[in-house]
Amino acid sequence: GASGLLGRALKKVLSNHHTFQILGLAYSRVHNGLHKLNLLDKPAVTQFVTGHHPDVILHSAAERRPDVSQSDPKATQALNVHATAHLAQLAKSTNAWMFYISTNYIFDGTAPPYHTDAPPNPLNVYGQSKLDGEIAIQDITDRACILRLPMLYGPVDFIGEDAVTTLAQSL
């Protein structure tokens, strides 16, 4: 997810630290030194991770569009759950720390503010897929951090890349 809105921002911030090497992976929009990798291609992902033996896997790739998730739940599950579980297994086998970007969509919005022990109740396929990704990670490795973000915004490559510009476009 290094070519997405969040991935680009993370790569920019982390690249300012010269104590470690950043290997950004992307499926589309592969430029600026990113490596092309399809997270659904398990053999290629396994080869990449075991070949580079990272200390940290920062997983920010996802099908994040609720409308697309609703219309293609199998593809959403493949990326948001199965690819996530595979990365968690690779993190465990290489003793890497896994950092997973999740969402507040795992909650139904009826009882904020939400704390780490709040019971999830996703209302759509996207929220359920991200919750299932969280559960998979927790079942596989204890060397992980899950961060639930409510919204992404920032410099965009195209108008539909974040919720704020998408809403502004519809006005």
Positions annotated as catalytic residues are: 126
Question: What span, in angstroms and rounded, lies between the C-alpha atoms of 61 and 56?
Answer: 15
- Angle between helix 125-140 and helix 84-94 axes, rounded to 10 deg: 20
| Residue 155 DSSP code | S
* Rg for the chain, CA atoms, rounded: 16
Residue among 130, 1, 81, 37 at smallest CA distance from 89: 81
